[in-house]
Structure 1
């Protein structure tokens, strides 16, 4: 039996195999072990995934891009159908098609079929909904079985990251694992050490797990709504006093998983009706241009890029000349932090809850292990480190630690 660890993330995916006694992530796209969780359906060719999917869309190829696929797990959308070319396909089938391509590429690299998988999962797919959590996990199980896996099990993503970190620890320690991904923020308080690493049962070492549905896509959305959507009419007045342009269109355009809803023709017809009663119709013309040209995902990608730049610099410019000549959005880091302060606060609060659940005072945490792309956002990082001020900050493999840990767990469970 050949087992793998599969980290199907909101933004990126990795798959690992245990080779020569250690986990190794498979090259899934050229030389890259990390592949964006995106799929592009073209009218006459096979679906493209990852960077190829994003490039096809951004290059203007006819077709349909879907990203942040994981976001629909645990929600009613999973069994709704979406238009893909001439057919309507349920979202669970879209996920299955994406993961089938990932599995085939991994099997080609390994030279043998993959029979068993340890799937990563967040502590909570959805907040405050145990039934939704159970449905999300069961959906992933059903999809994995449909792809030919005979054995399917799950591990919390922060626990998996801890197993990867543990390979390098010299002595026993109490660690907080902070995995801030594209869709969720997940935390574990866990005892680690070289003597513990070989144990078959680690349940006693895991003192608490917590999570909240806050991730990189939420920071993208808040940044878009705060700095970009007002240029397209968000928050602008109607001619009738005390009314604003309806906000639904802007929220959908700012959210990766709902952008495609705007492309069915009905949204533009409704917006044109709103435009007639808008006090600033020229702003709505910009919104219509984005939707007519189906450039919503491109706009979201530019917002994401600006977010990443703001993690390194104080200001970023988002060019929007393709919407209107000379149009651009200038964004400062302090404005970004203001727009997303509540999200960072939710992360801090969830860490506090995790420590309480573990029965551990913050000062007893020896190390905090950071993984996931959103740990690079300065005020998110401050929220995490501020919660455990005495702990050493350990940088994990930003996009690979969870996949490596799941691979370790797969070897432990399935040999």
Structure 2
């Protein structure tokens, strides 16, 4: 048995994989499930820390405290060197990530019944678009955190390549595959030659024709849906008596997972109180103020996320916004979502088209599109990618587990 694991630290969900003959690679991390939502809740009522589904449940049950989600989005930004306040104490963001990844390691080892000394971590093709130095620092930061929690050796693998390894374990002949990994924070693609014969090779560099990615993922779709459908109820796009528009920064903070807590600062609250007096539609701004006072921004983001997921299989959904004052039921249609996300979809499609050009591959040469990542269920995005390769088979992997399983296989090859 190898003492190496694969760690998929995701923007929305995380997994730990361990390659064992004849057994599933992914280890159960919470309530028998292989995924642990990438969320931490600091419960101020009893001074405890909760992770994953338990963190979200504690927050939604109304306990006083601080919810943190989309932790991976901090990598590659200046925020990683900053800090936030939790229960009156300063908490460096780097320490926050260390706590979460340490918890992933502990849970994986508990389930496996042994310690893991080595790990292969997944990483997006680009942590940061167009900034190689920031991208390098993001990987170095994650490697340092991994070593700090007890991994002696740490390797990295592009997340779509890891997903390709998982898919390769189930095919019977050679295929040229476009792996489309649409996660919570990034959309990553790799064009790879896969086959049962190639699977045993330790070196796969020649099988990878091209990789590319863009910093667009599920949380961006959440944000644009929120701004288009929900934030107007709170005054987004409305006017002040002076004729100026209400500043948009409050709404962007509330619509973006990793900046929601910035809406709760004393300065922000004081500014909102002043805006109410100057608003042409004060009732909308008062609703925003009450939402901020109740620290219900994460609750609202969860409702938007659920609506996005619902629109993957339905033409319309109703958002029950019962914590707004007054409460509201907001109908949202897929057409509305598609319109809000159109620019994001085209940016992702342009990334795929460039990838094919880089690889000097014609669309008709691609045998299969392998979709993975929780956000690959966004209908407009999936259809747009498929339209670029109309002759290719469309295969759906384990949306939340393919990367972790592939990382486990890669860890076994590297360290086994």
With the length of structure 2 as denominator, give the TM-score of the two structures.
0.98
Where structure 1 has 5 or more consecutive residues not aligned to the other structure, the ranges are none
Q: 1:216 aligns with which of 212, 215, 218?
A: 218
Q: Indicate the RMSD between aligned Cα atoms, in angstroms.
A: 1.0
Corresponding residue of 1:322: 323
Corresponding residue of 1:92: 94
Corresponding residue of 2:127: 125
Corresponding residue of 2:402: 401
Separation in 1 of the partners of 2:54 and 2:192? 38
Shift of 1:35: 1.0
CA offsets 1:91-137 (integer angstroms, 9 cap, x no match): 11101101111111111111111100100000001111101110110
CA offsets 1:294-313 (integer angstroms, 9 cap, x no match): 00000000000011111111
Is the CA contact (8 Å cut-off) linking 1:365 and 1:388 kept in structure 2?
A: yes
Is the CA contact (8 Å cut-off) linking 1:23 and 1:407 kept in structure 2?
A: no
Separation in 1 of the partners of 2:290 and 2:329? 15
Separation in 2 of the partners of 1:160 and 1:46? 35
After TM superposition, the structure 1 = structure 2 runs for residues 52-63 of structure 1, keeping only pairs within 5 Å, are: 52-63=54-65
- 1:111 and 2:105 are equivalent in the alignment: no
Corresponding residue of 1:71: 73
Separation in 1 of the partners of 2:36 and 2:322? 29
After TM superposition, the structure 1 = structure 2 runs for residues 28-47 of structure 1, keeping only pairs within 5 Å, are: 28-43=29-44, 44-47=46-49
Separation in 2 of the partners of 1:262 and 1:15? 33
SS in 1 for 2:210: strand
With the length of structure 1 as denominator, give the TM-score of the two structures.
0.98
- 1:187 and 2:189 are equivalent in the alignment: yes
Corresponding residue of 2:84: 82
Shift of 1:328: 2.5
Shift of 1:326: 4.2
Is the CA contact (8 Å cut-off) linking 1:144 and 1:152 kept in structure 2?
A: yes
Separation in 2 of the partners of 1:397 and 1:182? 15
- 1:298 and 2:299 are equivalent in the alignment: yes
Q: How many residues align?
A: 414
Shift of 1:22: 5.8
SS in 2 for 1:14: strand
CA offsets 1:141-178 (integer angstroms, 9 cap, x no match): 00000001000010000000000000111111111000
SS in 1 for 2:166: helix
Separation in 1 of the partners of 2:316 and 2:345? 20
SS in 2 for 1:244: coil
Separation in 2 of the partners of 1:353 and 1:169? 27
Corresponding residue of 2:287: 286
Separation in 1 of the partners of 2:19 and 2:48? 30
SS in 2 for 1:175: strand
Where structure 2 has 5 or more consecutive residues not aligned to the other structure, the ranges are none
Separation in 1 of the partners of 2:326 and 2:246? 24
Shift of 1:71: 0.4
Separation in 1 of the partners of 2:245 and 2:102? 45
Shift of 1:368: 0.6
Shift of 1:324: 2.1
Separation in 1 of the partners of 2:89 and 2:326? 37
Separation in 2 of the partners of 1:177 and 1:389? 15
After TM superposition, the structure 1 = structure 2 runs for residues 14-413 of structure 1, keeping only pairs within 5 Å, are: 14-20=15-21, 24-43=25-44, 44-241=46-243, 243-413=244-414
Separation in 1 of the partners of 2:35 and 2:150? 22
